[in-house]
Amino acid sequence: MPAGHASDPQELSADTPAKMHDAEAAAGRSGSDAPAGGGPIVETKDLRKCFGKNEILKGIDFEVLPGEVVSVIGASGSGKSTFLRCINLLEWPTSGQVLYHGQNVLEAGYDVNRYRIHLGMVFQQFNLFNNLNVLQNCVIGQVRAAGVSKAEAKDRAVEYLSKVGMEPYVEAKPRQLSGGQKQRVAIARALSMQPEALLFDEPTSALDPEMVGEVLSVIGELAESGLTMVIVTHEMAFARDVSDRVVFVDDGVIAEQGPPAELFENPQLPRTREFLTRFHAG
């Protein structure tokens, strides 16, 4: 079925995704067209990003393997969000490579829209469409960006909303939900696209303290289910519990990384120790 632009519902306002995918390109669903093999899903090589004269990312070499949960920690302003946004090309890197199953997605002619479908993103501020209800929020991307039929998209949306405990709220508008509920909807929306990996940018930082737990427990369940995830977080105890690897970003580079027990118990660099001490003290 074509991803008919003409049949787009009227109520979808300017804050809905503008650039939609054609049906042909979307026909291969995420995951199904991913090359087999045990290599990294995504890899960056000497990734650099400048804003004007400021070099924010100063050569990041990174990879995430299938099923891996990687937490990214570091001080405010160190470049964590910029790094995630360069991975899924919300920001275009200044130089270096972003490889998806070994292919450089920055090369001319690469189908960037299709690449983005493979990587879900969950934002600090939820980024739900306020004019759409919960179900519509979880359906629209599937139909318009990935070419899924409306019926299937609804089934998937309900399935993932159930998973995060938000199925009773399918008719609700975002303004009727708490922050924790909005974030759980945002997670269900990302999962509905059946991405190969999910990127989280401080998913609990905008929440009232009593709602942090419900969102972290959903993310923890996803980690246990084997979903590949990269999580920027300031929740150190959580990072320690769920991660296979923790990456410490400092001033635009990966200063140190390792299994959580090693990085948290026995950081090698003074800079890492300082950061962790400040955190424990705070």
Ligand X SMILES: Nc1ncnc2c1ncn2[C@@H]1O[C@H](COP(=O)(O)OP(=O)(O)OP(=O)(O)O)[C@@H](O)[C@H]1O
Residues that bind Mg ion (CB under 5 A): 81
Residue with tokens 């705070």: 282
- Shortest Å distance, C-beta 78 to ligand X: 4
Number of helices (H) and strands (E) in the chain: give both, helices first: 10, 10
Burial class from Cβ neighbours inside 10 Å (0-12, 13-18, 19+) for residue 217 reads middle
Which of ligand X, Mg ion, none interacts with 56 (beta carbon under 5 to 8 A by kind)? Answer: ligand X
Q: 59 phi and psi, to 5 degrees?
A: 105, 80
Per-residue binding letters, 19-58, with ligand X (x by CB under 6 A):
--------------------------------x----x--
Alpha-carbon distance of 36 to 29, in angstroms, equals 15
The residue among 24 and 92 lying less far from ligand X, judged by its C-beta, is 92
Which of Mg ion, ligand X, none interacts with 257 (beta carbon under 5 to 8 A by kind)? Answer: none
Nearest residue to Mg ion on Cβ basis: 81
C-alpha torsion angle, residues 122, 139, 109, 104 (rounded to 10) = 30
279: contact with ligand X by CB under 6 A: no
- Shortest Å distance, C-beta 174 to Mg ion: 22
Structure tokens that stand for 107 in this block: 């090369």
The residue among 80 and 182 lying less far from Mg ion, judged by its C-beta, is 80
Residues 79-108 that bind ligand X (CB under 6 A): 79-82
- Shortest Å distance, C-beta 54 to ligand X: 7
The Cα-based distances of 181 to 126, 162, 240, 248 in angstroms read 10, 12, 24, 29
- Shortest Å distance, C-beta 56 to ligand X: 4
- Shortest Å distance, C-beta 247 to Mg ion: 14
Residue choice 16, 30, 44, 78 for contact with ligand X (CB under 6 A):
78
Q: Which long-range contacts (CB under 8 A, 24 or more apart) does 264-273 make?
A: 264/236, 264/240, 272/248
Residues that bind ligand X (CB under 6 A): 51, 56, 74, 76-82
